[in-house]
Amino acid sequence: MNNFTVTTRDRTIDNIRGFAIFLVVVGHCIMRFYEYNAAFADNYWFRLIYSFHMPLFMFVGGWVAWLTFDGTLTKLKKRTLALLIPFVVWNVVNTLYLWVINGGWDDGYWRYLAMGQGFLWFFYSMFLCYVLLYTLLKLPETLQAVAAIAICAIMQSVHLKIFELGWVNWYFFFFFSGYFISKYKRLNPVKNSWGLTITLCAAGVAMGSMWHPSRSVDSPHLAFIAQNKYLLFIWRYTVPLTLIAACFSLFYMLANHWHADRIGQTIGRYTMEIYIQNYAWICLIVGIWNTPRFYWLETIVITTVTLAGSVYLAKQVERHKTLGFWLLGKQ
């Protein structure tokens, strides 16, 4: 059980969370602009963002879990409500919207939702990660990391549909990595430096640039990796892990020299609320203004409005406890 007591909030983690949700919004903008012919898959920035942004989110989730989750059933219930209430409520809203607009649902829609893979899949996946973590923390501390690795190995090697719930078979690795690295970071022998930061960023960007959504599993750009399943397996984890390490190294180095980061911290505190709202903001603005040749200008405008608008509405909802509970799982 975690006996660590948090006395101050780590503002650098909030900045990293803010950066991660920024990447989510930009990625969704690019996808929206090119959704009709799936050309977004060949966009350089889309490839780079999608090579690591959700693993980064999961890693940070695990990092924060070490600081805030004590492994008790009471805490698990609280996290369950915080994650599943918005997941259920907003999927119901989206389902009704699709019914009104389209007069029905696409084939496989209900199965898609049941597998926790709708537009709010992140909430469901994070919930499952907490359930697995709760189970792991019932074991002796010396066995917890080993058991986590064993669970990941089983989910990767045994192809059962249940492991595809919320894509937990992929994301739990990053969640538990964040948890245990946060727990044992005092044992880290590597001293951060600008040299290390620049090296990690350069290596991460180089590898992330070669990532491709349609080839990330079967045939990445590097043919010799695609032809060897073991190298391919290593590649799939090396790319996001390198970029995650680069983000942590960069933001912790910046924290030593840059203190005007209130915007990043604010955004980082409302990542869930932004995640819920971002599609609605993007679709609304694209519906009003959609000029392909100015899509980068539109991306800047949409991202700014989405982040500011989502935070503003979230703060308004927070003022009403009942509304905050049923819309955002706030307790």
Convert the pLDDT of each residue in 94-135 to its tens digit. Answer: 888 878 877 777 777 777 777 777 788 999 999 999 999 999
DSSP-derived letter for residue 217 is S
Q: Which residue is it, tokens 């780590």?
A: 10
Residue 219 has a pLDDT of 43
More confident residue, 211 or 86: 86
How many residues comprise the chain?
331
How many Å apart are CA 69 and CA 130, to the nearest integer?
9
Percent pLDDT > 90 in the chain is 48
Read off the pLDDT of each residue in 301-312 and give the average, rounded to a whole number.
Answer: 94
Sorted by where each begins, the domain ranges of the chain are 11-328
DSSP-derived letter for residue 40 is G
Tell me: pLDDT of 34 over 80.
no
How many Å apart are CA 203 and CA 199, to the nearest integer?
6
Torsion of CA 321, 322, 326, 331, to 10 degrees: 40
Residue 217 has a pLDDT of 45
Tell me: pLDDT of 321 over 60.
yes
8 A C-beta contact, residue 92 and residue 84: no
pLDDT per position as a tens digit, 158-205 = 877 777 787 898 999 999 999 999 998 866 666 678 899 999 999 999
Residue 216 CA: distances (Å) to CA of 78, 139, 222, 225: 35, 35, 11, 11
Tell me: pLDDT of 216 over 60.
no
The Cβ of residue 320 has, within 10 Å, a number of other Cβ atoms equal to 12
Residue 127 has a pLDDT of 94
pLDDT grade for 25, boundaries at 50, 70 and 90: very high
The two structure tokens encoding residue 168: 């937990």
The two structure tokens encoding residue 69: 């989750």
Read off the pLDDT of each residue in 231-260 and give the average, rounded to a whole number.
Answer: 86
Instruction: Tell me what the pLDDT averaged over the chain comes to.
Output: 85
How many Å apart are CA 136 and CA 142, to the nearest integer?
11
Tell me: pLDDT of 280 over 50.
yes
Residue 220 has a pLDDT of 45
pLDDT per position as a tens digit, 57-88 = 999 999 999 999 999 999 999 999 999 999 99
8 A C-beta contact, residue 155 and residue 169: yes
Read off the pLDDT of each residue in 32-59 and give the average, rounded to a whole number.
Answer: 83
How many Å apart are CA 41 and CA 44, to the nearest integer?
8
User: How much is the pTM?
Assistant: 0.90
